[in-house]
Amino acid sequence: MITEYNKIGAFSVLLRVFKRDIRIAWRRRSDIANVFFFFIIATSLFPLGLGADPRLLHAIAPSVLWVCALLSCMLSLPRMFANDYADGTLEQLIMSNQPTLLIVLMKTLAHWVLSGLPLVLVAPLIGLQFNLSVIELQVLALSLLLGTPTLSLIGSIGGALTLGVRSGGVLIALLILPLYIPVLVFGAGAVNAVFVGMGASGGLALLGAMLALSLVFAPLAASMALKIAIE
């Protein structure tokens, strides 16, 4: 009975961490809007700048949409832990009896819900500007659904490593962009595979594998970095 009670208590604390991050972000709706509108504006500039050639737009669509999604997710990474670190909340969470790894996972989930999930929902609509077919739009949404959580998980490592550092956003970019490259390659490659008449299962499977690996190792690495930053 005590063990079950402890499990319920731990779940309640972790759920509160998730809800707290969502609530705080909602109070700063401009931060959420910045990510959302950056993606829309950045992707819309390419059809305006390159003209109305449907073949050209169709060819560059997967790479453009994925690069813009990657950059959009990066905009909010410096704030993943920084606000809680500044007001002392992060130190209290780490010093509590809750596993730091799960706390990191909850905060990463909140980041994805606020920054990644909106991109997954709006990307198929943006893809219509690039003359993508229905199947390509479906693969695009699925690739982003698998890839954007990986971006948030990998980004949590960069956010933890740059706590309290000036120009943290620049350092995060330098640290995690090399790690983002495989996600970008396989995410855009899955959509390109449909375009050339091949199956997208290979690219999607690799995205799923990277998500599984990130779920195991990224929270562990980020939690260790947070403990070092607090100490």
Name the average pLDDT for the chain: 84
Q: Confirm if 158 and 171 have CB atoms less than 8 A apart.
A: yes
The residue assigned the tokens 């063990």 is 3
pLDDT score, position 4: 39
Q: Is residue 125 within 8 Å of 76, Cβ to Cβ?
A: no
Mean pLDDT of 104-108: 89
Cα separations (Å) of 46 from 23, 65, 134, 229? 34, 10, 21, 41
In three state form, how does the secondary structure of 98-119 look?
CCHHHHHHHHHHHHHHHHHHHH
pLDDT tens figures, 149-161: 999 999 999 888 8
- Residue with the two structure tokens 């954007």: 148
Position 156, amino acid = S
Is the whole-model pTM more than 0.75? yes
pLDDT tens digits along 149-192: 999 999 999 888 888 776 666 788 888 889 999 999 999 999 99
Supply the pLDDT for residue 81. Answer: 82
